[in-house]
């Protein structure tokens, strides 16, 4: 891909030569045989600014690759007569070297069609399955420009999608090829451009599955190609598309996400030998979410509901418990060990309390009184204390999660709507009216404050980047009101990034039947979504949807439009999904954030 003034996704300065070094390999149609032969693959992969993969990769077609045999490996298993090759990868980025020397070292070179890829040679270990894999990482810097859409919801799919890059119509209309990751990765469909401006952009009918049905929920790689003189395809650039999933739920408001981990052990008793042979598979990691239901005064978790206090607006998982189940069939015993979140703390804005839940027994074990109109909660790193910000009383309560009692209360926090733990674990930040307050955990008093212009409606911390991410609303909610998602660098209190500037007036119509302290009150609506990405990505609600941004490169990654305002945001620890609640639409949305394994 070439950079231009509209492009926000750029190549790394160096394209790396690795053999399937990220989330798997694209294998040639036929594996090698003992007589020799191996696949050659050419792929690109989207990575974040820390170099962590965002997708499992997409083919780069039409690449000329050559190789020269260097030496055999030890063990005498090398085979194959060909010791030199010259191939061009097909439309799926695959080629095959017939009779190529396998279980051997090769020197390979590639003719990237983009000079920005840089590296063009490397040494590989070629076996009959993996062969030689060339990979070019592409850093995601900002959403837009590579593609006009990065997020869609079923039922709200645009008729076209526009890509930007060095397109050519000399030998035919450019093609957009769609690939999906996940459990069954591979090619989905392709579509030819309906119009193209040479060297700038191409517009395609919005892609569908090969049978014409809409794209299913998932994270897709979009590969833009030109047609070459011989009819083959030439890589232009690549982008991504997330198709979210919608679930109906009455009044979902607060949300948190965690991982459930399963390990399966199979043991077979061999009677002849009087011996038991066991093997294990896993861990299998599945994201799980807990949601509050504002009007029914419940929490929804794992297909069950638990009664809590009135108008629950925020929830946090903490702790773990392990359960084991076994099935016996003849001499075979299958044992499944599952690790799940053990507890949750729920903020009840209508009853000035928090509920503490035992998720193993699915019971509400305690209701603890806090200040008036509590709106948000955070935990210390050990998950031994919860800190609850109360808007109505301008206070923050410390709740001991073992004794289930309030131990201390900080006062003088005007308009306290949001709360986050400082990276040091020594302070708690509270977002209020015109201020960010820094409260000492040792003295439980305000030690400093940062003046802002408006209400800090939501707040989160990036431990690795030593930053706060927060949303700021002014004069809610009229034609003169404004909204922004901001960063605050804690080392010098500077603002390295600000995103999604908009009028906040769309909030005005959504007050949860007049029960919110402000129509713009958005507890949990800023969330650092990924420890996997060096705590470097954040998500915020906006007046018309959401924005995801990179707090390392300070760039916007993805935007989405929703029918009504987002009230809660969470992501599982592995950053497979972000969850957004829309209580006024009675639904929540799961947004794929990368290609799940």
Could you read off the pLDDT of 288-332 as tens digits, one per residue? 999 999 999 999 999 999 999 999 999 999 999 999 999 999 889
Lowest mean pLDDT, pick from 2-11, 43-52, 308-317: 2-11
DSSP 241-298: EEE-EEEE-SSEEEEEEEEEEEEEEEEEEETTTTEEEEEEEEEEEEEEEEEEETTTTE
The pLDDT, as a whole number, for residue 5 is 22
What does each C-alpha distance from 163 to 145, 174, 472 come to in angstroms? 7, 10, 33
| Tokens read off for 480 | 């003169």
User: For 163-245, CATH number?
Assistant: 2.60.40
The per-residue pLDDT for 240 is 82
pLDDT-derived band at 47 (thresholds 50, 70, 90) equals: low
- 555-561 sheet: strands from edge to edge: 526-528, 537-542, 545-550, 555-561
Could you tell me if 247 and 580 are in contact, meaning their C-beta atoms sit under 8 angstroms apart? no
CATH class in words for 246-592: mainly beta
Q: Give the span between the Cα atoms of 275 and 268, in whole angstroms.
A: 8
Span 170-226, pLDDT tens digits: 899 999 998 886 656 678 999 999 987 666 889 999 999 989 999 988 888 888 888
**Sign of torsion over alpha carbons 312, 313, 319, 322:** positive
Strand pairing category for 151-152 and 233-243: parallel
pLDDT above 70 covers what percent of the chain?
A: 87
Phi and psi at residue 270, to the nearest 5°: -95, 105
Confidence category of residue 2, pLDDT binned at 50, 70, 90: very low
Distance CA 2, CA 146 (A): 10
Could you tell me the CA-to-CA distances from 305 to 243, 261, 292, 348 in Å, in that order? 28, 22, 9, 15
For 110-131, the pLDDT digits (tens) are: 887 655 566 688 899 999 888 9
Ordered by start, the domain boundaries in the chain are 9-140, 163-245, 246-592
Q: Please name the residues in contact with 492: beta carbons below 8 A apart, sequence gap of 6 or more.
A: none
When pLDDT is cut at 50, 70 and 90, the band that residue 355 belongs to is: very high
556-587 pLDDT tens trace: 878 888 989 999 999 888 777 889 999 999 99
Peptide bond preceding 577: is omega within 30 degrees of 0, i.e. cis? no
Contacts of 211 (CB under 8 A, 6+ apart): none
For residue range 436-486, list pLDDT tens digits in order. 999 999 999 999 999 999 999 999 998 888 999 999 999 988 889 999 999
pTM for the full predicted model: 0.77
10 pLDDT exceeds 90?
A: no
Domains 9-140 and 163-245 share a fold: yes
pLDDT surpassing 60 at residue 241: yes
Tens-digit pLDDT profile for residues 266-289: 999 888 878 889 998 878 888 899
CATH code matching the domain that covers 9-140, chosen among 3.30.70, 1.10.10, 2.60.40, 2.30.130: 2.60.40
């Amino acid at each position: 891909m070439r950079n231009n003034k509209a492009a926000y996704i750029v190549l790394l300065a160096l394209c790396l030569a690795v053999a399937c070094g990220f989330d798997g390999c694209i294998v040639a149609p036929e594996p090698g045989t003992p007589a020799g032969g191996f696949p050659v693959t050419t792929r690109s992969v989207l990575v974040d600014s820390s170099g962590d993969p965002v997708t499992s990769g997409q083919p780069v077609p039409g690449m000329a690759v050559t190789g020269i045999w260097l030496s055999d490996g030890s063990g005498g298993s090398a085979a194959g007569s060909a010791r030199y090759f010259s191939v061009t990868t097909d439309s799926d980025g695959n080629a095959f070297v017939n009779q190529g020397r396998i279980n051997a070292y090769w020197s390979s070179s590639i003719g990237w069609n983009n000079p920005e890829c840089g590296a063009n040679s490397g040494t590989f270990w070629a076996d009959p399955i993996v062969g030689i894999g060339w990979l070019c990482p592409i850093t995601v810097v900002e959403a837009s420009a590579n593609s006009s859409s990065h997020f869609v919801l079923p039922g709200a799919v645009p008729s076209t999608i526009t890509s930007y890059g060095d397109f050519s119509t000399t030998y035919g209309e450019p093609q957009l090829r769609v690939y999906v990751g996940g459990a069954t990765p591979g090619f989905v469909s392709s579509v030819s451009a309906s119009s193209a401006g040479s060297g700038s952009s191409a517009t395609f009918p919005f892609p569908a599955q090969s049978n014409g049905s809409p794209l299913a929920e998932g994270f897709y790689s979009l590969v833009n190609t030109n047609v070459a003189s011989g009819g083959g395809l030439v890589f232009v650039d690549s982008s991504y598309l997330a198709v979210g999933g919608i679930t109906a739920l009455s009044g979902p408001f607060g949300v948190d996400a965690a991982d459930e981990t399963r390990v399966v052990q199979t043991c077979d008793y061999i009677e002849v030998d009087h011996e038991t042979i066991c093997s294990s598979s896993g861990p299998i990691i599945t994201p799980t979410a807990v949601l509050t239901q504002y009007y029914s005064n419940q929490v929804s978790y794992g297909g069950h509901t638990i009664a809590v206090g009135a108008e629950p607006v925020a929830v946090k998982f903490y702790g773990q418990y392990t359960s084991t189940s076994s099935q016996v069939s003849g001499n075979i015993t299958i044992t499944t060990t599952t690790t799940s979140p053990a507890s949750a703390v729920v903020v009840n804005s209508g009853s000035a309390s928090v509920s503490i839940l035992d998720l193993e027994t699915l019971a509400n074990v305690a209701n603890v009184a806090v200040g008036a109109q509590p709106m948000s909660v955070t935990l210390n790193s050990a998950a031994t204390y919860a800190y609850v910000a109360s808007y109505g009383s301008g206070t923050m309560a410390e709740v001991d999660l073992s004794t289930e009692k309030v131990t201390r209360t900080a006062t003088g926090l005007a308009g306290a709507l949001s709360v986050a733990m400082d990276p040091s674990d020594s302070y708690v930040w509270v977002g209020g009216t015109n201020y960010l307050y820094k409260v000492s955990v040792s003295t439980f008093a305000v030690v400093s404050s940062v003046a802002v212009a408006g209400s800090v409606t939501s707040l989160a911390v990036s431990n690795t980047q030593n930053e706060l991410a927060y949303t700021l609303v002014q004069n809610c909610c009229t034609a003169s009101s404004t909204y922004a998602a901001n960063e605050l660098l804690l080392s010098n209190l500077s603002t390295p990034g600000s995103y999604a500037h908009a009028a906040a007036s769309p909030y005005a119509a959504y007050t949860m039947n007049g029960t919110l302290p402000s129509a713009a009150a958005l507890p949990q609506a800023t969330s650092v979504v990924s420890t996997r990405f060096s705590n470097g990505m954040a998500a915020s609600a906006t007046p018309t949807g959401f924005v995801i941004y990179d707090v390392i490169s300070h760039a916007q990654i993805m935007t989405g439009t929703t029918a009504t305002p987002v009230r809660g945001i969470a992501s599982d620890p592995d950053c497979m999904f972000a969850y957004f609640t829309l209580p006024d639409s009675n639904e929540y949305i799961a947004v794929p954030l990368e290609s799940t394994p």
